[in-house]
Amino acid sequence: MNVVTACAICRNPSTVRVHPGCQERLTDNLAALPALYRQLAEHLAPSRRGDSGRTGSRTAPLPVNERVLDLRARGGIEGVVTTWERAAREDLGWDEPPFRGDIQQTVDGAVAFLLAQVPWFCDSHDAVDELAHDVRRLRAECGAIIGGEKPPRRIPVACPCGTVLRVTLDTPGIRCGGCETQYGHAEVFQLPMAERSAA
Ligand SMILES: [Zn+2]
Ligand SMILES: [Zn+2]
């Protein structure tokens, strides 16, 4: 029998160090960052949607979206991913990251590095939950600015084993990371809703 402990990312019961689903989500969020970085460039000026009926502002200069500037600057998205890359390289006893070029290229390179190391982070890094949190927060923030590409809402349902599963309405099914039960789409929605937990 497998020993049930807590997932190092979501803290729900788990027989493995990190739920496969939590690892997948981390990979997914990381992989989204380079494209989000590019898309942010189109959002440096605040959206004018909804202003079409106004006439007085036509000549006023549009303020630059400061938050987008920050996210695209050195120390923004770049700062988060390179900080994690440096920490990982230090733990692994590897050389410092190579010079990769401009900020965009640095983001691409650091994300590629981190993606390759996701299994290592999940198997052994003490702060994998912080990495997951940083990456999720960045993706959510970029998504909120870019709009229209928000991840679908996830509904928490409770497996009888105590694990909370977060599912989307169109989920094809899910495997419980706690007890390894495989649920089909219809079965998922027969599970009781989980109480709101501190997410
Ligand atoms: Zn988990
Ligand atoms: Zn379960």
CA of 173 to the centre of ligand 2 (A): 13
Average pLDDT value for residue range 45-59:
52
Residue 100 has pLDDT above 60, yes or no: yes
136 shares a domain with 110: yes
Q: Which of 132, 149, 166 marks a domain boundary?
A: 149
174 shares a domain with 128: no
CB 23 within 8 A of CB 131: no
pTM > 0.85: no
Distance CA 33, CA 113 (A): 13
CA of 177 to the centre of ligand 1 (A): 7
Query: Residue 169: its pLDDT value, please?
Result: 83
Residue 177 has pLDDT above 50, yes or no: yes
Does 178 fall in a domain?
yes
Residue 106 has pLDDT above 50, yes or no: yes
CB 6 within 8 A of CB 113: no
CB 63 within 8 A of CB 47: no
Does 58 fall in a domain?
no
CA of 118 to the centre of ligand 2 (A): 24
Query: Residue 44: its pLDDT value, please?
Result: 84
Query: Residue 198: its pLDDT value, please?
Result: 44
Query: Residue 72: its pLDDT value, please?
Result: 95
Relative to the alpha carbon of 19, which ligand is closest? Answer: 1
136 shares a domain with 166: no
Q: Which domain holds residue 187?
A: 152-199
Q: Give strand pairing partners of 148.
A: none
Q: Between the CA of residue 92 and those of 86, 88, 89, 111, what are the distances in Å?
A: 10, 6, 5, 17
Does 84 fall in a domain?
yes
Q: What is the percent of the chain with per-residue pLDDT over 70, rounded to a whole number?
A: 85
Task: Count the domains in the chain.
Answer: 2
CA of 176 to the centre of ligand 2 (A): 5
